[in-house]
Structure 1
Amino acid sequence: MMTNNSLLKFLAISTILLATSCELKKEPTPPNSLAINTKTVEKNFKLWTWITAEKERTNESFDEEFKKYSDNGINAILINTYGDPTLLTRLVPIAKKYNLEVHAWMFTMNRPGDKIAEQHPEWYAVSRDGKSCFDEPPYVGYYKWLCPTRKESREHVLSLIEGLAKVEGVTSFHLDYIRYSDIFLPIGLLPKYDLKQEVELPRYDFCYCDVCTAEFEKEHHKNPKDFSNPAIDMEWKNFRLNKVKAIVDEAYKITHDNGKLLTAAVFPYPEMADHMVRQRWDKWNVDAVLPMIYNVFYNEEIDWIGYATKQGVEDLKGKNTELHTGIYVPEMTAIELKEAIKQAKTNGAKGVSFFDGPAITTEQWQTIRDSQND
């Protein structure tokens, strides 16, 4: 069975944090420094995994887990500490003991359980049919999306990023849920919700709060609430794409000012991300993307991992951004995992990330070890 944290990632498909406090600002670390440490990286192909850390766990249990990752060839771990820099600080030296990079993973615009945000219901995104994520979240109860336009919600998110960016020893801040709520779910998930999504439905179309619509109307002299078919208005679509980009670009500045990199979990390739969640990640300032190419959610076969990887690599040409393919390991046989890694490698990925670490089976670990000799 999936854990709650796996289910979070499962629904969003989609997929956080970082760095160093010092009096003198460091120069930004170049993107190719993502490929550091350990024998696998000598071949310029990096192995990552996502994990969620509970603060109640002992250091000894984390030590055992991190040792297993290192022994099996993992180079980097993306750790979700629920935005807690104290827990992240505690885990960094344990990971470093095993020569593992630490990337601070955080839910960005989707903020379930955010006690500060919960004190401000007006910060939450509003659907076209007037439902706020604060009290009527779409799909599931933990879809608590903040508005990316509103000054206060933006500043709150950026303050969390800045706090984590001051944790010493972290390689990157890793953005997840850096988008709007799903306007279209992956096709493989629709039966779970008894849904048909052939057009943009008002319930899943965000954000129509007063701040967003007023700012758009000021710029473009029309109000999205008056549109008979908002899906065909390109200015309104671009307005929202650019609001997400603005947060990413601010995060890039914050992380680089602290001597850290910026990475992000994103949808499989830019055109798909644009269509499904208003996320055009090939236009971002970001050092590396880990597209979640989870073929099972899209009813696709393993070779689709190669297709989506290649599409993303092509879309990033000319940009200083690496692509590392995200692979969903549950429901995947060891033979399928071997082919998935091969598809990513041969189509231009700089590495692969496995979701998630605790879900990897003994047989899959053998495949991962063997892949380092291919």
Structure 2
Amino acid sequence: MNVLKIAFLSLLLSVVSCDKTVKIETASETETATIEAPAKFKYWNWITVGHKKSDSAYTAHFNKLKSNGIDAVLMNTGADPKLLKRLAPLANKAGLEVHAWMFTTNRPGDSIALQHPEWYMVSRSGKSCFDERPYVNYYQWLSPSHPEARKHILSLVEGLAKVEGVASVHLDYIRYPDIYLPIGLLPKYDLKQEEELPDFDFDYSDASVEKFMALHHKDPRKMENPAIDIEWKNFRLNEIKSLVNEAYDLVHKHNKKLSAAVFPYPEMADHMVRQRWDKWKIDMVLPMIYYNFYNEELDWIGYATKQGIDDLEGRPTELHTGLYTPKLSVPDLKSAIQLAKDNGAKGVAFFDDYSMSDEQFEVIKNSKE
């Protein structure tokens, strides 16, 4: 998923740690003042792991990340707590925080879910994600409105939360399928999306429609233009919100935090994927501010970061800016990190999945000095 706000004299900086009090002495008197030292700007890395690599190979990679300035790994084990239990201690030993990254409402190839076709989201055109998937084959979205699907998702969350050495459970794909793709991706699918198209507007499953009708006494399947019905849109926003809030309570029972990968800022996330993350009960959000996906310029990283910070005002949620490193040159990576810092982020998260160059690592390491 801030710029250091308190300046200390260089002498104090050499002796103050994040959780200490500082004694300030003057010639005439001694005063003891408790000063909150600035939180460290955190560097995260999203990685996918599996069973095939050896412990020594993972240890070498974790040590490489740590030596190049990374503080935390977002570890995708396919929601497998056994694999997480094996690898979390190795990352911890290397000095890294571990965050258990999982696919949430999008559950491609989930062997349990695939036994229940009724759990899946359905488009306005009547296509179920169980067998007709939008955009890509790995889009297999479970309905947060189906009680058993929701129960299954939360069981996966709890399984990860129980693992020792994990700092947070990290929710990814915690939303509906893209009603609007990022504009930079549309040519890949030969699409124009100037309105909400039936094939990409979800969730018209029985579970969702019945739950909505019980609340609002109208059927979205019979609406002439459901895109302008605010209750129908808000219902879906709230289905995601309530799922996140349940996950928050669950992981906190196990003394873990909840984090999530989200779309760049709340208004955009609302519009594109039914995701209003500034209203969630959550500890940390990592908005994926992949500016090139939206045909934006580099400084948009600062704009989107600042918009998210403003929308979170008064809430305890931390924001850490997500960066897509395969598209960032070395000079642009340096600027992107600074843009995140200057606009209030608590850290930056890099999506590289083992593709980061030595030159990019050097930028990350040097930016911490």
What is the CA-CA distance between 1:331 and the residue it aligns to? 2.0
209, 231, 237: which is aligned to 2:227? 231
Counterpart position of 2:294: 298
CA distance in 1, matches of 2:94, 2:56: 13
Partner of 1:112: 108
Q: Take 1:214 and 1:172, find their aligned partners in 2: how far apart are those partners?
A: 34
4+ residue segments displaced more than 6 Å: none
Q: 1:260 is matched with which residue?
A: 256
Please tell me whether residue 74 in structure 1 is matched to residue 70 in structure 2. yes
1:188 matched to 2:184? The reply is yes
1:57 Cα deviation after fit: 0.9
TM-aligned CA distance change 1:312 to 1:129, over 3 Å: same
Q: Distance in 1 between matches of 2:310 and 2:362?
A: 31
SS at match of 1:359: coil
1:264 aligned counterpart, secondary structure: strand
Which residues of 2 match residues 118-267 of structure 1 at below 5 A? 118-267=114-263
- Among 80, 83, 87, the alignment partner of 1:87 is 83
- State the 1:357 CA deviation: 4.3
Shift of 1:277: 0.1
Alpha-carbon distance in 2 for matches of 1:351, 1:80: 20
> Per-residue CA shift, 1:304-355, capped at 9, x if unaligned?
0000000000000000100000000002110000000011000000000000
Give 1:16-27 correspondences, 5 Å limit.
none
In structure 2, the residue corresponding to 1:335 is in which secondary structure?
helix
Could you tell me how far 1:93 is from its partner in structure 2? 1.2
Cα shift at 1:44 = 2.1
Match of 1:361 in 2: 357
Q: Which amino acid aligns with 2:68?
A: N
Distance in 2 separating the partners of 1:219 and 1:93: 47
Q: Secondary structure at the match of 1:47?
A: strand
Give me the whole-angstrom Cα distance separating, in 2, the residues matched to 1:357 and 1:327: 12
Q: Identify the residue that residue 54 of structure 1 maps to in structure 2.
A: 50
> Are residue 334 (structure 1) and residue 327 (structure 2) matched?
no
Match of 1:238, as an amino acid? Answer: N
Match of 1:25 in 2: none
Aligned to 2:34: none
Q: Write the distance in 2 (CA, Å) between the matches of 1:146 and 1:273.
A: 19
Larger radius of gyration: 2
The residue aligned with 2:341 is 345
> Aligned letter for 2:240?
V
Change (3 A) 1:42 1:64: farther
Alpha-carbon shift at residue 42 of structure 1 (Å):
6.7
Q: Give the alignment of 1:303-322 within 5 angstroms.
A: 303-322=299-318
Corresponding residue number in structure 1 for 2:285? 289
Higher relative contact order, chain-length normalized (CA < 8 Å, sep 6+)? 1
C-alpha displacement at 1:155, in angstroms? Answer: 0.3
Q: Secondary structure at the match of 2:327?
A: coil
Q: Distance in 2 between matches of 1:49 and 1:277?
A: 24
Look up the equivalent residue of 1:331 and give its one-letter code: K
Which region of structure 1 is more displaced relative to structure 2, 351-360 or 250-259?
Answer: 351-360
Per-residue deviation, residues 254-303 of structure 1 (Å, max 9, x unmatched): 10000000000000000000000000000000000000000110111110
Percent of aligned pairs with the same amino acid:
62
Match of 1:21 in 2: none
- Are 1:271 and 2:267 matched, yes or no? yes
Report how far residue 214 of structure 1 moved. Answer: 1.5
Q: CA offsets per residue over residues 163-205 of structure 1, 9 Å max, x none? A: 1110011000000000000000000000000000000000000
- Aligned-partner Cα distance in 2 for 1:180–1:263: 18
Which residue of structure 2 aligns with residue 3 of structure 1? none
Q: Which residue of 2 aligns with 1:18?
A: none
Letter in 2 for 1:311: Q
Quote the offset at 1:43 in angstroms: 5.6
Name the residue aligned to 1:28. none
d(CA) in 2 for partners of 1:240, 1:291: 20
The amino acid that maps onto 1:68 is K
Residue in 1 that maps onto 2:97: 101
The equivalent of 1:27 in structure 2 is none
Deviates more, 1:214-223 or 1:274-283: 214-223
Secondary structure, aligned partner of 2:214: helix
